Amino acid sequence: MSKVRVLSFAVSLDGFSAGPNQSLENPLGVNGPELMESFFHTRVWRAMHGEAGGEEGVDNEFAAMGFANIGAWILGRNMFGPVRGPWPDDSWKGWWGDEPPYHTPVFVLTHHARPPLRMAGGTEFRFVTEGIDAALEQARAAAGERDVRVGGGVATVRQYLRAGLIDDLHLVFRPVLLGAGEHLLNEIDLRALGYECTKHLAGERAVHLFLTKRK
């Protein structure tokens, strides 16, 4: 059965999943790239950018698993790009160039309508203005029997967690301190929501924790 999943979601030791002051120059916020070091060195990351090499091992294995059996993605507006408010035009097409890494329909939460955007490699961004339930309904329909991945950003993951709509949560804890930014789990009682840690494993540059929602 199709699941709703958060995968390879990086967290600092002090609980932040994005740094402060996100912008075009700092899409992950100030010091935010430190969260992604366990991904940047993998063979999966380098292959996504048309480069050879990269590290294999635990971090690479879980990076690859993050794309397996995914039939649709859900992203927040901030994850799609730095543009705020009404879309001035259709020139912004995401951070990822002409061929984004998704290769599936991607449902972008926004308050401002925009026509669907088809990209190379099978990615199609569809902009949803009716909220998280509507985005999930559309994503499930698009994914069929495959899973839906909620890719972020932090506010979007928090919304789906609070609503109890995430089945599996894979957190990648990096040994860094950000000190400020967007906190992932502040005032979210995962235990009360029915989540439990079912697996944990150390990788080369991070510790991987897997949480599952009890049925």
pLDDT digits 0-9 by tens, 114-152: 999 999 999 999 999 999 999 999 999 999 999 999 999
pLDDT digits 0-9 by tens, 7-27: 999 999 999 999 998 888 888
- Residue range 4-84+99-213 forms a domain whose CATH class is alpha beta
User: What is residue 23's predicted lDDT score, i.e. its pLDDT?
Assistant: 85
User: Is the pLDDT reported for residue 1 higher than 80?
Assistant: no
Instruction: Provide the 10 A C-beta neighbour count for residue 145.
Output: 8
For 87-97, what is the mean pLDDT? 92
pTM: 0.95
